[in-house]
C-alpha cells in the first residue's frame, strides 16, 4: 500500500469510528494485514489508517527487538525504548498519566525525510479494541507511549509537526550524522531552540 504524504487531506480528517461488527469481516481483516505488511516494509513502528488513505479509527504498531538493537544501549535506555509487540488499535482512547514529559526526535512515514523534537507524555493510559474485537485497557511508558501518542494523533488529524519544536526540524540525513547521539540540551543550544 502507498503511504500518503502531508498535503493529503485525509491526514487532516478525524477518522471514522469502527463498528465492532465491521472488525470481524474479511475485508477489515485484510486491511489490517495490508497495514502490517506496509508498516514492516517501510520500515516503521506504527501506521495509522489515514496514512494509507483510509479515514478510520484504526492503527497498527510494533517495535520489534531487531529495531531496538540498532540503537546503542545508552540511547535505548535514555529514550526508554522497549519492545512493543504487534498491536492493532481500533477506536483507541488515550489519556495522559501524571505530569512527566519526554522530549526526543521523532519522524513520520507521511513526512518523509525529516525529524524534529516533540514533547510527549512519558506515561499514558490506553483503551482500545483489538483485531479479534476484544477490549483492552492498560498503561504504557517511555518510547512505546510515544509511538502510541503519535499514532492516536493521526486518527484525529494531527501530524507530529503540529507538536514539534519548530526550530528543531532537521532532515533524516542531518539527524543521523549530527543530532541523533547528542544530548537534547545540546541540541537546544546548537539550534537556538529557546531563542525567539
Ligand atoms: Zn506518523
Task: List the 101-106 sheet strands across, edge first.
Answer: 101-106, 114-121, 170-171
Q: What is the pLDDT of residue 41?
A: 97
**Nearest-CA neighbor of 87 among 31, 128, 26, 123?**
128
Compute the distance between CA of residue 173 and CA of residue 155 in angstroms, rounded to an integer.
Answer: 28
**What's the CA-to-centroid distance between 147 and ligand 1, angstroms?**
9
Measuring CA to CA, which residue among 55, 47, 46, 45 is closest to residue 12? 55
- Ion ligand 1 nearby residues (CB, 5 A): 108
115 DSSP β-pair partners: 170
Q: What is the distance in A from the centroid of ligand 1 to the CA of 18?
A: 20
Bridge partners (DSSP) listed for residue 87: 61
What does the pLDDT read at residue 116? 98
CA distances from 66 to 43, 140, 168, 175 (A): 12, 20, 28, 21
Per-residue pLDDT of 153-190, as tens digits, reads 999 999 999 999 999 999 999 999 999 999 999 999 99
pLDDT at 99: 97
Q: How far apart are the first and last CA of the chain?
A: 41
Closest CA to 180 of 171, 189, 19, 125: 171
Q: What angle is formed at CA 195 by the lines to CA 191 and CA 196, rounded to 5 degrees?
A: 125
Domains of the chain, first to last: 9-165 (3.90.45.10)
Does residue 16 come out as left (phi exceeding 0), alpha (psi in the -120 to 50 range) or beta? beta
User: Which residues of the chain carry a pLDDT beneath 50?
Assistant: none
Q: What is the pLDDT of residue 195?
A: 85
Distance 97 CA to ligand 1 centre (A): 22
Cis check: omega of the bond before 43, within 30 degrees of 0: yes
Q: What's the mean pLDDT when you consider all of the chain? A: 97
Catalytic (active-site) positions: 151
Give 107 Cα–ligand 1 centroid separation in angstroms: 7
pLDDT of residue 120: 98
- Ligand 1 mean position, distance from CA 52 (Å): 11
Amino acid at each position: 500500500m502507498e503511504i500518503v504524504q502531508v498535503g493529503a487531506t485525509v491526514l487532516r480528517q478525524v477518522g471514522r469510528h469502527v463498528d465492532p461488527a465491521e472488525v470481524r469481516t474479511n475485508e477489515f481483516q485484510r486491511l489490517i494485514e495490508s497495514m502490517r505488511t506496509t508498516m514492516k516494509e517501510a520500515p516503521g513502528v506504527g501506521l495509522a489508517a489515514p496514512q494509507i488513505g483510509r479515514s478510520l479509527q484504526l492503527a497498527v504498531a510494533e517495535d520489534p527487538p531487531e529495531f531496538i538493537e540498532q540503537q546503542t544501549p545508552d540511547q535505548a535506555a535514555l529514550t526508554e525504548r522497549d519492545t512493543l509487540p504487534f498491536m492493532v488499535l481500533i477506536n483507541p482512547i488515550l489519556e495522559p498519566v501524571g505530569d512527566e514529559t519526554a522530549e526526543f526526535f521523532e519522524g513520520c512515514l507521511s513526512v518523509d525525510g525529516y525529524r524534529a523534537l516533540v514533547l510527549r507524555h512519558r506515561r499514558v493510559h490506553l483503551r482500545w479494541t483489538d483485531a479479534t474485537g476484544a477490549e483492552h485497557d492498560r498503561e504504557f511508558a517511555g518510547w512505546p507511549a510515544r509511538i502510541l501518542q503519535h499514532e492516536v494523533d493521526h486518527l484525529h488529524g494531527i501530524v507530529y509537526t503540529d507538536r514539534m519544536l519548530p526550530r528543531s526540524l532537521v532532515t533524516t540525513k542531518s539527524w543521523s550524522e549530527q543530532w541523533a547521539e547528542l544530548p537534547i540540551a545540546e541540541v537546544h543550544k546548537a539550534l537556538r531552540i529557546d531563542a525567539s
